[in-house]
């Protein structure tokens, strides 16, 4: 993805070479694969992927593959290098020290702001992978709800394993640890899925498949048993809040305004909405844009909208979609949002 853009950037800024060191996710961004170990070296004119014998990377357009050997850097004539670029957000201090000793005369340029910006807007291919990851996720959820009706799943872990199996059966991978939270457990937004038995109450799902390394993110809350009128009303309020935030999407709208819209609908319950409305996603489950002031809706930038209500020792509910805007709002996680009740 976008290798020529980075190479123009290097040329403009008089940078001799950029060095990305494992496990920098940007190696995956440019090479479209995950290595066990390696470096990606990019100069204004060429790109070399150094890998170990643990991997057999397939051919990659415009990137030369080389086996990582002792003194691999000699071929780069390190003593002539005046400026190198690194990613400060990923590089460890020990790797940095090593690069400083390999390129003793080089000035160091931090690429991290540029890389973030480059990856924020997605290419058509990336959007396609994200869509596929979302389709795999919603299909897995559909199958899991059918299984829940059969009463074969007994614990949070049972539900998580089932959903992950359905993701893998479709050729997907698991984007992040699956959250299945029964009843009061869901009052912690990032509850660690446990052996807690399923019982009557809200059951929260927050999970995602990845496809070609691109991550989906979806949350749904269903009800096991019979909800009280108050529980049903609380859910309907949350659903309205999520819908209002989605309806507020228009070009150049501030992301923080979507957050405000969702909170306005929640009214007195907004104090129980204890995280931000959403986040960007792509190769990473949380990436730019975060919902910081001044960021606005732009074409082809996927993000999530996920309001929640968390009542300590009682319940937690959240509804989350992955979506992007391009002339209209494209919701990638197509799955019903009314309260699904399983008896
Ligand atoms: Mn999320």
- What are the domain boundaries of the chain? 3-119, 124-342
Ligand 1 centroid–CA 218 distance in Å is: 7
Instruction: Please give the Cα distance from 225 to 237 (Å, whole number).
Output: 20
> Which among 231, 233, 223 is positioned nearest to 201, based on CA atoms?
223
Ligand 1 centroid–CA 207 distance in Å is: 8
pTM of the model: 0.95
Find the DSSP H helices in the chain: 3-12, 25-31, 93-102, 112-120, 124-149, 156-169, 229-247, 255-266
Ligand 1 centroid–CA 30 distance in Å is: 24
Instruction: Please give the Cα distance from 36 to 67 (Å, whole number).
Output: 13
What radius of gyration, in Å, describes the C-alpha atoms of the chain? 23
Ligand 1 centroid–CA 167 distance in Å is: 18
Ligand 1 centroid–CA 330 distance in Å is: 17
Whether domain 124-342 has CATH 3.30.470.30: the reply is: no
Ligand 1 centroid–CA 306 distance in Å is: 7
Q: Would you state the structure tokens that stand for residue 316, as one six-digit string?
A: 């937690």
DSSP tally for the chain: helices H, then strands E: 8, 20
Residues, CB within 5 angstroms of ligand 1 (ion):
217, 304
Q: What's residue 76's pLDDT?
A: 81
Instruction: Please give the Cα distance from 111 to 281 (Å, whole number).
Output: 20
Residue count (the chain): 343
Give the end-to-end CA distance of the chain in Å, rounded to a whole number: 47
Domain 3-119: what homologous superfamily? Answer: Creatinase/prolidase N-terminal domain (3.40.350.10)
> Which among 199, 215, 164 is positioned nearest to 343, based on CA atoms?
199
For 330, half-sphere exposure in the C-beta direction (CA atoms, 13 angstrom radius) is: 15
Residue 24 to residues 17, 229, 255, 256, Cα–Cα distance (Å): 16, 49, 27, 29
Give me the tens of pLDDT residue by residue for the chain, a chain 343 residues long. Answer: 799 999 999 999 999 999 999 999 999 999 999 999 999 999 999 999 999 999 999 999 999 999 999 888 888 878 889 999 999 999 999 999 999 999 988 999 999 999 999 999 999 999 999 999 999 999 999 999 999 999 999 999 999 999 999 999 999 999 999 999 999 999 999 999 999 999 999 999 999 999 999 999 999 999 999 999 999 999 999 999 999 999 999 999 999 999 999 999 999 999 999 999 999 999 999 998 888 778 899 999 999 999 999 999 999 999 999 999 999 999 999 999 999 999 9
Can 3-119 and 124-342 be said to share one CATH topology? no
């Amino acid at each position: 993805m976008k290798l020529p853009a980075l190479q123009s950037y290097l040329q403009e800024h008089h940078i001799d070479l950029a060095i990305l060191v494992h496990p920098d996710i940007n190696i995956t961004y440019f090479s479209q694969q995950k290595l066990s170990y390696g470096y990606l070296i990019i100069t204004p004119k060429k790109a070399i992927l150094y890998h170990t014998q643990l991997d057999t990377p397939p051919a990659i357009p415009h990137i030369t593959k080389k086996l990582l050997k002792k003194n691999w850097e000699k071929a780069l004539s390190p003593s002539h290098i005046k400026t190198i670029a690194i990613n400060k957000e990923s590089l460890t201090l020990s790797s940095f020290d090593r690069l400083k000793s390999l390129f003793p005369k080089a000035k160091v340029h931090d690429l991290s702001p540029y890389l973030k910006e480059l990856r924020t807007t997605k290419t058509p291919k990336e959007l396609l992978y994200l869509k596929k990851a979302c389709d795999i996720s919603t299909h897995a959820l559909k199958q899991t709800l059918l299984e829940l009706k059969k009463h074969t799943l007994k614990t949070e872990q049972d539900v998580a394993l089932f959903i992950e199996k359905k993701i893998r059966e479709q050729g997907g991978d698991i984007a992040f640890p699956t959250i299945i939270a029964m009843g009061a457990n869901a009052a912690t937004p990032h509850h660690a899925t446990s052996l807690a038995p399923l019982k009557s109450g809200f059951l929260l799902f927050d999970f995602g498949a990845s496809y070609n390394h691109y991550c989906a993110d979806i949350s749904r809350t269903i009800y096991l048993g019979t909800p009280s009128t108050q529980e049903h009303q609380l859910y309907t309020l949350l659903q309205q809040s999520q819908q209002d935030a989605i309806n507020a999407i228009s070009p150049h709208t501030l992301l923080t305004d979507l957050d405000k819209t969702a909170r306005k609908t929640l009214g007195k319950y907004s104090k129980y909405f204890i995280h931000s409305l959403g986040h960007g996603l792509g190769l990473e489950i949380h990436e730019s844009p975060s919902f910081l002031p001044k960021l606005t809706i732009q074409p082809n930038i996927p993000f999530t909208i996920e309001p929640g209500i968390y009542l300590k020792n009682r319940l937690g509910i959240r509804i989350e979609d992955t979506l992007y805007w391009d002339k209209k709002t494209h919701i990638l996680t197509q799955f019903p949002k009314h309260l699904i009740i399983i008896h």
